[in-house]
Structure 1
Amino acid sequence: MLQDLPVMLNGYRLMITEAPAVKTREAEDGTVSPVVDRLSGETQYVVTVFAKPVPVEGRRPGKGEEIRVNLPGDPGDKFGEGMYVELVNAVVNTYEIPDRVDPRKIASAGLWFKASGLKPVRAVREAA
């Protein structure tokens, strides 16, 4: 599996749609606990951003997509919904879950984003 592939998002505007919050995990018994980094011992956070392509003249505007981004710690309370941000050191990771019946097959696969932090950016006016 590919890990920590650098991601260039300079062709997108990123707007926070869910403010940073503690990342949690639910155990089989239903208890919920915060996710803690194994190396640093810090509680991890997650932020949801809407990634919309920057308009390019002569091209049809893209729709965009919401993505969740893991953060290594609390980015602070200055980041709220509706705010435009840049991801610091953004990377993407892939995962595969083998099929329970035939482990040679892949039952599920996907990717997840992480960044070392958030940086506020000025809001850019939407193209008419």
Structure 2
Amino acid sequence: MRDIPVNLGGYKLTVVEPPAPKMREDANGAQTPVTDRDGATQFTVSLFAKLRVKPGERAPKGEEIKVTLGTDPGPDFGEDVRVELLDARVSPYQIETAGRVNAGLAWRAMGIKHAPAPRPSGDK
């Protein structure tokens, strides 16, 4: 299965590394931008995902995820900015090289947007 839709609404997503064009090394060792089938440049952003908890509860350890973005998010997404993913999807992968197996999840989204400011804890 590929491109499984995911709902990360229960997580706080914080920018760790701002968005930048996704790069790949070509046969000559030069860095070239990664494009999709239509020729549009892909972008990548590193986010720290941490579970949202109710007041008084302790959040489990979070995790850093690297997300490929299908559109240019613009310049307003520096470090420590809270964001939401637009049309988030995940694909499991497994790569075997030299007798070793690496497996994980490849994260994709059409884009990112600023997350709404958290409400004060006294609001209903």
When the two structures are superposed, what TM-score results if normalisation uses the length of structure 2?
0.85
TM-aligned CA deviation for residue 97 of structure 1: 1.7
Query: Which segments of structure 1 move beyond 4 Å, counting only runs of 4 or more?
Result: none
Determine the C-alpha separation between the residues in 1 that align with 2:74 and 2:6: 23
1:115 aligns with 2:113: no
Q: 3-state SS of the aligned residue for 1:69?
A: strand
When the two structures are superposed, what TM-score results if normalisation uses the length of structure 1?
0.82
Counterpart for residue 53 of structure 2: 55
Determine the C-alpha separation between the residues in 2 that align with 1:64 and 1:100: 31
Determine the C-alpha separation between the residues in 2 that align with 1:50 and 1:122: 17
Counterpart for residue 45 of structure 1: 43
CA contact (8 A) 1:48 1:69 kept: yes
1:93 aligns with 2:84: no
Determine the C-alpha separation between the residues in 1 that align with 2:72 and 2:35: 12
Unmatched tracts of structure 1, length 5 or more: none
Determine the C-alpha separation between the residues in 2 that align with 1:66 and 1:123: 21
CA contact (8 A) 1:55 1:62 kept: no
The percentage of counterpart residues that share the same residue type is 45
Unmatched tracts of structure 2, length 5 or more: none
Q: Structure 1 residues 41 and 29 mapped into 2: Cα distance closer, same or farther (>3 Å)?
A: same
Determine the C-alpha separation between the residues in 2 that align with 1:100 and 1:62: 35
Determine the C-alpha separation between the residues in 1 that align with 2:38 and 2:93: 23
Question: How many pairs does the alignment contain?
Answer: 121
Q: Deviations over 1:73-108 (max 9, x none)?
A: 21111222111110011000111223556xxxx722
Structure 2 counterparts to residues 10-49 of structure 1, below 5 A:
10-37=9-36, 39-49=37-47
